[in-house]
Structure 1
Amino acid sequence: MELTESYTLPVSQQRTWEALNDTAILRASIPGCESIEADGENAFALSMAASVGPVKARFKGRMLLTDINAPQTYTIVFEGQGGVAGFGSGNARVTLEPEGPEATRLTYTASAQVGGKLAQIGSRLVDGAARKLAGEFFKRFSAQVTDEGGADAAADTAAPADDTASTDGADSESGDAQAKRKKSWTAWISKS
């Protein structure tokens, strides 16, 4: 899986860098994150609950920051195990570019591999879940770093720089269609 997106955040490059290296802000920003703790120099142990389509699991993993050039860029190398749900590993290159004194463009390119049940559900579903997770992360992250006007107002300020990367169309499906699709996946899994 390959994923590249850009977000404009309404804070300075230095503040964005500091927040990306603050475990309390990351824990509050990562959907389903249960814990994130320092585990050596530039390394973190992470525990989170996530669901991709019909597969729900608790993942435990590790992140290592490499190629650090503060406050412009670094690479995150990650790996995680989700028991019978499978595993994931990969890396993400994060770049911060100032857009004026109080705005920063964050661009990332991620590459990941999944195995186990996660790989069986199909790359399209995994890619969609990854995009949705990233979008939710940046809404929460922006709310954490701006801390102005409440979380709801701040969450709306983090938007993809490219509207084609948005998954709003998928979110606008009716609840009945989503429930029907969920039932069909559940039935398919229970038959296999």
Structure 2
Amino acid sequence: MKIKGNYTLSTTPEIFWQMVMDPDVLEKVTPGIKELKALSPDNYEALSEVKVGPVRGNFKGNLSIKDKVEQEGCTLVIDQKSKMGNVIAEIVMTLAPEGEGQTKVEYTGEAKMSGTLASMGQRIMSGVVSTLSKQFFKSMEAEIAARKA
């Protein structure tokens, strides 16, 4: 399944980069993440619970950050397993300054699913991915606003 989108945040690439590289911030703003535990630099064990429409499940696996270019982008590698199926995704995220104090984030990638998740079909899962992406960026905006206050 292809993953693609963009979002403009009210902060600089430098601040957004610092926030994305901070596991405490990622744990707080990523939908469904219950715990993000560092295994090594840029490699985390992730425990999550996802509840979006027909998709409900507890997942356990890894989140890795690779191909880092400070303030420009990176690749997120997600490998999650659950009773309802497994997800392996690689998402390339690029950052670009836009306007005064804003950052445009573009993301593209692909997710491979197995089990019940795969049987739900791309249309349903695309909707779930879209909803989770929007929740992530709205939570990130709230975190940015809280830091400015």
Q: Please report the TM-score for the alignment, with normalisation by the length of structure 1.
A: 0.73
Cα RMSD, aligned residues only: 1.6
Give the drift of 1:148: 6.5
Q: Secondary structure at the match of 2:15?
A: helix
Distance (Å, rounded) in 2 between the aligned partners of 1:10 and 1:107: 15
Corresponding position of 1:103: 102
1:128-153 Cα distance to aligned partner (Å, 9 max, x none) = 01100100110001111221788xxx
Corresponding position of 2:20: 20
1:22-61 superposed matches below 5 A: 22-61=22-61
Distance (Å, rounded) in 2 between the aligned partners of 1:101 and 1:43: 33
Q: Secondary structure at the match of 1:102?
A: coil
Which segment is superposed worse, 135-144 or 96-105?
96-105
Q: Secondary structure at the match of 1:133?
A: helix
Q: Secondary structure at the match of 1:4?
A: strand
1:2-13 superposed matches below 5 A: 2-13=2-13
1:31-180 superposed matches below 5 A: 31-83=31-83, 85-147=84-146
Tell me the number of residue pairs that the alignment of Structure 1 and Structure 2 aligns: 149
Distance (Å, rounded) in 2 between the aligned partners of 1:133 and 1:16: 18
Corresponding position of 1:189: none
1:28-76 Cα distance to aligned partner (Å, 9 max, x none) = 1111210012111211111110135434210011011111111101111
Aligned partner letter, 1:26? L
Distance (Å, rounded) in 1 between the aligned partners of 2:22 and 2:103: 17
Unpaired runs of at least 5, structure 1? 151-192
Aligned partner letter, 1:23? P
Distance (Å, rounded) in 1 between the aligned partners of 2:116 and 2:51: 12
Q: Secondary structure at the match of 1:3?
A: strand
Q: Secondary structure at the match of 2:135?
A: helix
Give the drift of 1:121: 1.4
Unpaired runs of at least 5, structure 2? none
Whether the 8 Å CA contact 1:35–1:46 is kept in 2: the answer is yes
Distance (Å, rounded) in 2 between the aligned partners of 1:128 and 1:55: 10
Q: Secondary structure at the match of 1:50?
A: strand
Distance (Å, rounded) in 1 between the aligned partners of 2:109 and 2:29: 18
Aligned partner letter, 1:107? E
Q: Secondary structure at the match of 1:147?
A: helix
Structure 1 runs of 4+ aligned residues shifted over 6 Å read: none
Distance (Å, rounded) in 2 between the aligned partners of 1:129 and 1:135: 10
Which structure's residues are more often helix, by fraction?
Answer: 1
Q: Max radius of gyration: which structure?
A: 1
Which structure's residues are more often strand, by fraction?
Answer: 2
